[in-house]
Every structure is written in structure tokens, then in C-alpha cells.
Structure 1
């Protein structure tokens, strides 16, 4: 009789919560120290993402008697991304709705100025210009920022799970 693989759920929950908490911590620190995201911070965040997903897959493989297949690694990566991303997305919504609403106001002003410049440059008709102005307001909202954060985290953890799974899988 063949031994069944361990469930992915406990690893996904534990490391997804850790990843979500880390993501929230970074957003709070950036806000508290009035710091803007730059290349160094983006690279650092990606390294931490890789480390969390890699470690979760590594621990799973150890606990599963050294067995790991690519599908399981991808599942772990995606599940961490979904759980961490939901936590982060929810907090992002609250953060930009209650803690830092001025960011949304600044973002809307910036987008409106950019849209007006595009309208002038492309010499749009009144109907086209009106549609362009309406679209700019949609993207500058706490809900959209939270959703974009969720989707980007899911995409990153999927890629990391895929790459780590290809490296650590049993042939």
C-alpha cells in the first residue's frame, strides 16, 4: 500500500499568515517612516517572498519523507499567495480607506492630471475624453489597490512555487 502525501493546507495556512503579516508590516513601516517604494525595497520584498515560499516547500518535503512533486509545490506557493494576499489585500483596503486616505486623493489628482495631458495630446473628442476621465477614477480606489495587491502576490507566489518545485521535486 502506497503512503499518501501530507496535506498542503497546514503549510499554506501557517506560511500564508506569516507572509500576510510580513506584507502588512512592510506597508505600515513604509507609511510610518514616510518612505516610498523603491527598487531596493522591491527586491528585498521579492527575496522575502522567495524565502517564505521556499521554506514552506522545504519543510513540506522534509515532513513528507523527502517526497515532493511539482504540482504540490505549485499548490503550496499558490495557497500561500492566496492566504497572504487576502490578508494583505484586506489590510490594504483598510489602510487606504482609514489610515492614509490622502494617498488616494493624491493618486486621483495625479491620474487626472495625467489623463488631461493625454486628452490634450491626443486631441480626443468630448465623448472619448469623458470616458477617459471616468476610467481614471476607478483605478484610484482602496478596493482596486487591495485587489491589485492580492493578484500580484498570487502571481509572484505561483512563479516562486513553480521554480522552487522544479528545483526541489523528486524525479
Structure 2
């Protein structure tokens, strides 16, 4: 009977790598005063796939060539949770202390859009309140975490379906 090796060392190593990579991208975007665009989004997704794929690939090699779909998903999710928590923590710090003007700019653009919509006073106040909630550093960090977990889950699922042993 074959005993699977633990997922934790792979999740820790590649989750930390993924978190560090995500922070690096955010810092570079800030340092070069560059907005995210389609090319950067595609590059980020390709690197996400590469990190999760390589972790699953190494796990399979180290586990005597055996891996099942559940383990692949577990590894993808674990990488996402660890990397996402690291990224979310930094995102909060980044938008709260390093680049608070980003939040102010988002709120200003939302208020300008509200004024263009010609809403009633009551609707405008409600919309401003909701936009204030969704533009807080905590909510941005939380959405980043959820996004990363979802992406790594999907990648783990797809790579697991390809690499699994029948």
C-alpha cells in the first residue's frame, strides 16, 4: 500500500513564492506608476499557472509518480491560501500607508461618476456609502485573497485532471 507524502512543505514553499511574486508585482506597478492592463493580467495568470503546475509536478515526482485529483486541488488551494494571505496582508499595508492616494482617487472617480448619473439625493448618498465600503484597504485585500484562492483552485483542478493517475 502506497503512503502519500505530505502536501504542507510544497504548499508552504510555493505559497510563499506566490505571495512574494504577487507583492513584487504590486510594488513594481506602484514604483513605475503603471496601471494594470490586459498584458499584465495575462502574465500574472500564466505565472500563477506555472507556480501551481510546478508544485504539483514536483509533488508527483517526489511521490513516486503518483498523484490524484484531490491532492492536486488541495495543493492548489493551499498555495492560494498561503500566497493570498501574504499578498492580502501586504495589500492592506500598501493601500493604508504607502499609497493611500489610490483609495482617494478611486473614491473621487466614483463620486464623479455618481454625479454624471443624475441620481436623486437619496440614491447618491446610498451609492457613496457603498462605494466607501468597497474602496477600503481591508476590502481590497480581502478581494485579492478571494481572487487568488479561486484562481489557484481552478488551476489546481485543471492541472490535477491532466496529471492525475487513473
TM-score where L is the length of structure 1? 0.94
Structure 1 distance, partners of 2:41, 2:129, is: 30
Task: Please give the alpha-carbon distance, in whole angstroms, between the structure 2 residues aligned to 1:47 and 1:130.
Answer: 41
1:164 to 153, 159, 164: 159
Q: Which residue of 2 aligns with 1:73?
A: 72
**CA displacement at 1:8 relative to structure 2:** 0.8
Secondary structure in structure 2 of the residue aligned to 1:96: helix
Structural mapping, 1:15-164, within 5 Å: 15-118=14-117, 120=118, 123-124=119-120, 126-164=121-159
Structure 2: give runs of 5+ residues left out of the alignment: none
Per-residue deviation, 1:113: 1.6
SS in 2 for 1:65: coil
> How big is the alpha-carbon RMSD for the aligned residues of Structure 1 and Structure 2?
1.0
Moved beyond 4 Å, runs of 4+: none
Q: Aligned equivalents of 1:78 and 1:52: distance in 2?
A: 12
Equivalent pairs counted in the alignment come to: 166
